[in-house]
Amino acid sequence: MIILNGGSSAGKSGIVRCLQAVLPQPWLAFGIDSLIDAMPAAMRSSDDGIGFAADGGVSVGGDFRALEGAWAQGLVTMARAGARVVIDDVFLGGAGSQERWRGFLGDLDVLWVGVRCEATVAAARETARGDRVAGMAAKQADLVHRGVVYDIEVDTTRTESLDCARAIAARVA
Amino acid sequence: MIILNGGSSAGKSGIVRCLQAVLPQPWLAFGIDSLIDAMPAAMRSSDDGIGFAADGGVSVGGDFRALEGAWAQGLVTMARAGARVVIDDVFLGGAGSQERWRGFLGDLDVLWVGVRCEATVAAARETARGDRVAGMAAKQADLVHRGVVYDIEVDTTRTESLDCARAIAARVA
Amino acid sequence: MIILNGGSSAGKSGIVRCLQAVLPQPWLAFGIDSLIDAMPAAMRSSDDGIGFAADGGVSVGGDFRALEGAWAQGLVTMARAGARVVIDDVFLGGAGSQERWRGFLGDLDVLWVGVRCEATVAAARETARGDRVAGMAAKQADLVHRGVVYDIEVDTTRTESLDCARAIAARVA
Amino acid sequence: MIILNGGSSAGKSGIVRCLQAVLPQPWLAFGIDSLIDAMPAAMRSSDDGIGFAADGGVSVGGDFRALEGAWAQGLVTMARAGARVVIDDVFLGGAGSQERWRGFLGDLDVLWVGVRCEATVAAARETARGDRVAGMAAKQADLVHRGVVYDIEVDTTRTESLDCARAIAARVA
């Protein structure tokens, strides 16, 4: 199992697609975006769900946390059942988010990957993609890495996604 | 857990979105489409993956089956961990596909839903959506229901997705 | 040139894709959705642009109207230059919107098509598609047809998009 | 009017979205991708349409060229009618493609922008986006610029889309 953590617009999805292309075995990719897609539309307009403020702030409520926990446990089961699984997540709680994952993972072998990108560059890419609330990239760029421990870190500021993916793939047995 | 089975363009996704809207609790939705999205792009051009023939035929190989099995077990774990989960699937193997699910489900409580649509109408809707290989709808319309046992069946031929969803929701305790 | 007018979720896009499939010659399809996609994202949060209220109401400002007018004139030019063009629009101004189109069309030959759908059914389909502000379908179902004169009207309430498209195609020389 | 020319995955769309964000007035954006979206699905599997070979080669037939010509004339009309229009195109014919545009433009004022990206980097980004036929980026990287004359050139190899957009915007009166 590979878990990537990085702020919005840091380039996680691009790295995941490249990982799927360069790794010799088929890997399943899941992420916080696909989790939100799996939730009812109403979760995006409820205090118990996930809220995106106009300034890029993200808040999550109890229902969201509960479903996210069940989802994480399900992904761990997929890995235990033999699937190679790569996950991209946004650790809004920094070290606390990693600790929560560790509780679900048990003794499962995981490669922790930090995906960094300078805040100004991530913000510029947020403008270029055009489908995100402006401000998320800058707000999350440092926040999500606070206290998190990685096996490998990549930085997309000046390195292409494919090169980042190759560095990560080299760490996968 | 709710499992919907029906052919391509029978209207499963629309029913799932309506279910998420009418059910009072938040439900997570997964399906065969989101599974394919989670796989490497190369799986769509490999004998071990999933192939879409020009006539609408679908063939799946060993790698696909293995990942699909691990995915199903993960979804069962999500449900056991407290998430309400609705799945839309296409039982290409009819009764055999249902039997495979039963092996993963154990004693988990499931509502089995058959989503039917007359082949000619499903084929017409396939043309209208424009993002599927022509022929899938007609090929799968009856095939996927062979030998499958349901708790409730709905038919989108002349009933709106929202009405189908309400009938299903009435069966959820 | 074919111009379809109907409320949100009445099924215009599905009919357009079917028209492109059944008409023997290649037709270019444009619509109010593709126009909005062509505009800056900021137009969706400006008084001069287009606003979607929480109750499904739609308001348009001066910048939007100006760009829309230039766009319409461009589509007329495409048709005059030899392209077959099918347009789906939402006449928020009813007869006034048709009059505005007539001003741009000059003597160009147009087939005017009304796409109707009962408000409750359109609202149900709005829920099923899940990507529109709830309430638009009901608000627009009758409003957009007020005073508009058609060459042919179709009703998707109980007729499939493909059958509607065939009825329209039969009117294209 | 601004016309950007560059190979597949050179980053044209990102620059266009940034241009729309940084330019003080609203600009309409059209491109070869939105033109293909406007065509019937069958155009992608016809000799007269547009073909994408497995090696990334792109071939276009008579119907495609005819519709493209009418489309270009329509965009020119939009600009003459007062809309600011930015177009991203792929000059498969190099200087010949520019000459064809000039024929449609007449005396309309245009800013010609070359969007370059080193072939290996464009190919890496093609892998990262995951929605294009592999090989297009490399094949088109140099080809599309042959003999084309620009007012300004930008290079996304080591410059962010937003910075490229700012350089272009500085040239717009």
Q: Give me the DSSP letters along B63-80.
A: HHHHHHHHHHHHHHHHHH
Q: What pLDDT shows up at residue A85?
A: 98
Single-letter residue type at D120? T
pLDDT band at D68, cuts 50/70/90? very high
CB C113 within 8 A of CB C149: no
Mean pLDDT, chain C, integer: 96
> From first to last of its 173 residues, what are the pLDDT tens digits of chain A?
999 999 999 999 999 999 999 999 999 999 999 999 999 999 998 889 999 999 999 999 999 999 999 999 999 999 999 999 999 999 999 999 999 999 999 999 999 999 999 999 999 999 999 888 899 999 999 999 999 999 999 999 999 999 999 999 999 96
Residues of C in contact with D66 (CB under 8 A): 82-83
Q: What pLDDT shows up at residue A124?
A: 97
User: Length of chain A in residues, anyone?
Assistant: 173
pLDDT band at D155, cuts 50/70/90? very high
pLDDT band at D171, cuts 50/70/90? very high
Q: What pLDDT shows up at residue A33?
A: 95
pLDDT band at B72, cuts 50/70/90? very high
Contact A78 B74 (CB under 8 A): yes
pLDDT band at B102, cuts 50/70/90? very high
Contact A18 D121 (CB under 8 A): no
Q: What pLDDT shows up at residue A45?
A: 85
Residues of A in contact with D18 (CB under 8 A): 124, 127-128
Q: Give me the mean pLDDT over the D113-124 stretch.
A: 98
Count CB-CB contacts under 10 A for residue D77: 24
Answer yes or no: is the ipTM higher than 0.85: yes
Measured between CA atoms, the residue of chain D closest to residue A21 is D127
Q: What pLDDT shows up at residue B45?
A: 85
pLDDT at residue C173 is higher than 80: no
Q: What pLDDT shows up at residue C127?
A: 95
Residue ranges of C 32-91 with Cβ closer than 8 A to chain D = 34, 37-43, 48-49, 63, 66-67, 69-71, 73-79, 81-83
**Consecutive H or E run containing A60:** strand A58-60
In 3-state terms, what secondary structure has residue C61? coil
Percent of chain D with pLDDT over 70: 99
Q: What pLDDT shows up at residue B52?
A: 93
What lies within 8 Å, CB to CB, of A28 at 6+ separation is A78, A83, A84, A85, A86, B38, B39, B67, B70, B71
In 3-state terms, what secondary structure has residue C58? strand
Sheet holding C27-31, edge to edge: C27-31, C84-89, C2-5, C111-116, C152-155
- What are the residue numbers of the active site of B? 33
| C-alpha dist (Å) from residue A24 to A151, A166, A169, A173, C19 | 21, 12, 10, 11, 44
Residue the block writes with tokens 């986006």: D129
B24 touches chain A (CB under 8 A): no
Q: What pLDDT shows up at residue C110?
A: 97
Residue B55 sits at φ, ψ, to 5 deg, of: -95, 5
Residue ranges of C 90-149 with Cβ closer than 8 A to chain D = none
Q: Which two structure tokens, joined as six digits, stand for C170?
A: 């039969």
Q: Give me the mean pLDDT over the D147-162 stretch.
A: 98
pLDDT at residue B114 is higher than 80: yes
What lies within 8 Å, CB to CB, of C95 at 6+ separation is C146, C147, C148, C149
Q: What single-letter DSSP state applies at residue D49? A: S
Out of B20, B48, B67, closest to residue A28 by CB:
B67
Residues of B in contact with A36 (CB under 8 A): none
What lies within 8 Å, CB to CB, of B85 at 6+ separation is B1, B2, B27, B28, B29, B30, B75, B78, B79
Residues of B in contact with A39 (CB under 8 A): 20, 26, 28-29
Contact A21 D158 (CB under 8 A): no
In 3-state terms, what secondary structure has residue C162? helix
Residues of A in contact with D19 (CB under 8 A): none
| C-alpha dist (Å) from residue B14 to A91, B88, D37 | 32, 10, 23
Contact C161 B130 (CB under 8 A): no
Q: Give me the mean pLDDT over the C3-25 stretch.
A: 97
Min Cα–Cα distance to chain C from B160, Å: 7
- In this structure, is the dihedral angle defined by the CA atoms of residues A131, A133, A138 and A144, taken in order, positive or negative? negative
CB D111 within 8 A of CB D172: yes
> Best of D16, D132, D160, D161 to disrupt the A interface by mutation (most A CBs within 10 Å)?
D160
**Consecutive H or E run containing D71:** helix D62-80
Strands C152-155 and C111-116: parallel
pLDDT at residue B100 is higher than 80: yes
Please spell the DSSP secondary structure of chain B, one letter per residue.
-EEEE--TTSSHHHHHHHHHHHSSS-EEEEEHHHHHHHS-GGGGGSTTSEEE-TTS-EEE-HHHHHHHHHHHHHHHHHHHTT-EEEEEE--TTTHHHHHHHHHHHTT---EEEEEE--HHHHHHHHHHH--S-TTHHHHHHHHTTTT---SEEEETTSS-HHHHHHHHHTT--
Contact A17 D125 (CB under 8 A): no
Q: Which two structure tokens, joined as six digits, stand for B139?
A: 């090929």
Contact A160 D128 (CB under 8 A): yes
Q: Which of the other chains make 3 or more beta carbon contacts under 8 angstroms with chain B?
A: A, C
Min Cα–Cα distance to chain C from B106, Å: 31
| A88 in active site | no
Residues of A in contact with D21 (CB under 8 A): 127, 130
Single-letter residue type at B2? I
Out of B125, B129, B160, closest to residue C124 by CB:
B160
Q: What pLDDT shows up at residue A101?
A: 98
Question: CA nearest B35: which of B2, B4, B65?
Answer: B65
Measured between CA atoms, the residue of chain D closest to residue A122 is D160
Q: Give me the mean pLDDT over the C42-62 stretch.
A: 92
| pLDDT, tens digit (0-9, with 9 covering 90-100), for C121-160 | 999 999 999 888 899 999 999 999 999 999 999 999 999 9
Strands B50-52 and C152-155: unpaired
CB A14 within 8 A of CB D129: yes
Q: In whole angstroms, what is the distance from residue D47 CA to residue B67 CA?
A: 38
pLDDT band at C47, cuts 50/70/90? confident
What lies within 8 Å, CB to CB, of D96 at 6+ separation is D147
Contact D34 C39 (CB under 8 A): no
| pLDDT, tens digit (0-9, with 9 covering 90-100), for B117-148 | 999 999 999 999 988 889 999 999 999 999 99
Residues of B in contact with A30 (CB under 8 A): 38
Q: What pLDDT shows up at residue B50?
A: 95
Q: What pLDDT shows up at residue B47?
A: 87
Q: What pLDDT shows up at residue A14?
A: 97
Question: CA nearest A120: which of A128, A110, A108?
Answer: A128
Q: What pLDDT shows up at residue A47?
A: 87
pLDDT at residue C45 is higher than 90: no
How many CA atoms within 13 Å lie on the side-chain side of A118?
7
Q: In whole angstroms, what is the distance from residue C169 CA to residue C173 CA?
A: 8
Q: What single-letter DSSP state applies at residue C42? A: G
Measured between CA atoms, the residue of chain B closest to residue A13 is B38
The gap between the terminal CA atoms of chain A, to the nearest Å, is 11
Q: Residues C150-165, buried b or exposed e (16+ Cβ, 10 A)?
A: beebbbbbeebbbbbb
Residue C29 sits at φ, ψ, to 5 deg, of: -115, 125
| pLDDT, tens digit (0-9, with 9 covering 90-100), for D20-47 | 999 999 999 999 999 999 999 999 988 8
Question: CA nearest A85: which of A68, A100, A97, A73?
Answer: A73
Q: Which of the other chains make 3 or more beta carbon contacts under 8 angstroms with chain D?
A: A, C
Percent of chain B with pLDDT over 90: 94
The gap between the terminal CA atoms of chain B, to the nearest Å, is 11
A14 touches chain D (CB under 8 A): yes
Angle between helices B119-129 and C12-22 (to 10 degrees): 100
Q: What pLDDT shows up at residue B46?
A: 86
**Consecutive H or E run containing A38:** helix A32-38
Contact D160 A129 (CB under 8 A): no
Q: What single-letter DSSP state applies at residue D130? A: -
Out of D11, D127, D158, closest to residue A17 by CB:
D127
Q: Give me the mean pLDDT over the B72-88 stretch.
A: 98
Question: CA nearest C160: which of A61, B13, A162, B119?
Answer: B119
- Within its chain, how far is the Cα of C163 from the centroid? 18
Q: What single-letter DSSP state applies at residue C163? A: H
Q: Which two structure tokens, joined as six digits, stand for B41?
A: 């792009």
